[in-house]
Amino acid sequence: MRILLILALVFLHYGSVVGSDISPFMGYVGQENPIAAIVISYVLFFAFAAVPLLSAISGFLFFRSAHSEVRPDFSRLWRKRLKSVVLPFVLWSGGYVAAAYLAHLIRPSLFAALFSSEAGATALTLLDAAFALTDTPFAIQFWFLRDLIVTMALAPLIWLAVTRIPLLWTGFLTLSWLTEQTFGLFIRLDIFMFFNIGAMMAIYRLDLTRLDRWALPLFAGFLLVVALRTVAPVLIGAESERTLELMSSLLRLVGVMALWSLAGRLALTGLGEMLRRYSGMAFFIFCAHYPLIMYVKKMLASVAPPSGEAGLLLNYVASIGLTLALIGLAAILLNRLIPRVYAILNGGRETPEKGGVAVQG
């Protein structure tokens, strides 16, 4: 599921439709070229379930050997995550900012907001860009790893709360999440909230196969909720921001249940086998896809300016396809030429398969 969810994030981070200043994050609000706007918004809202489910999987894996009576060996768990999460986060996120600084030296107008004091840049601005101390980083996907690191640091609190006051804790987290609290610790509460859900599933050995028979109805319901959220702005008005936010929260909850329950069925298909073959690249794709996809999108638009519904959708598909192809080529070359570097950048996953692709989970 992880590589499928990370591929969904690549689609999500395509961002605005080329030639339009209206963000697909709003949904369909009557944009020109409605088919392209609706399709891109629909896929984006579908991908809203990716971060919550990735967080739940992370919580489940972190606590999979734990139970309510014996305190987990947090030192061992933290040491393992230093290699698989913390070190790659520092190298990738810091590396993007270093590359931006080199571009700024060549052309001072580039990224001036990060590096020029005249444009308002401060030491905190730079630290946030690199390591997301208080705000979203330069490479926006790394807010996920930043909040995941903070969440894992709070693992003893999570274990105590989940094992001693599970219902009260879950209710408190859900209310906090719905009201968009951050407690001054998180960029968003999504990671912490769903990591706790995954932890609860692992600690209490919840039988998730009970959802299998409901997989298809849940997935159909999720697709319907995504469709409603996509067109909701024209049905209830774009000014109904709180209602739209609650709909987005609902589709995340339904998406987590639907996609997790679907995983068992998907694993038995040809698509599931293909995804499993390349699953070891998931972390590398996550780290490498942004801001690459933005430059690929702009480059394709300058070479072949899109026009009409077909042109916009072609740019959408081609941008994502070319981005993934470039990342795949980079992963294969790195793994063949400097496998130790690739392993570090890929969170410690270094087992090669035919073609030089890492497959270890």
pLDDT at 350 over 70: no
Q: Which of 343, 330, 325 is nearest to 280 (CA)?
A: 343
pTM attached to this predicted model: 0.93
Q: 220 φ, ψ to 5°?
A: -65, -40
Q: How far apart are CA 100 and CA 88, in angstroms?
A: 18
In this predicted structure, what is the pLDDT of residue 21?
67
Of 16-20, 86-90, 122-126, the range with the lowest mean pLDDT is 16-20
Of 128-137, 186-195, 212-221, 280-289, the range with the lowest mean pLDDT is 212-221
Confidence of residue 156 (pLDDT cuts 50, 70, 90): very high
pLDDT at 213 over 80: yes
pLDDT at 39 over 70: yes
Give, as one character, the DSSP assignment of residue 205.
T
pLDDT at 357 over 50: no
In this predicted structure, what is the pLDDT of residue 360?
41
Mean pLDDT over 56-61 rounds to 96
Q: Are 222 and 42 in contact (CB under 8 A)?
A: no
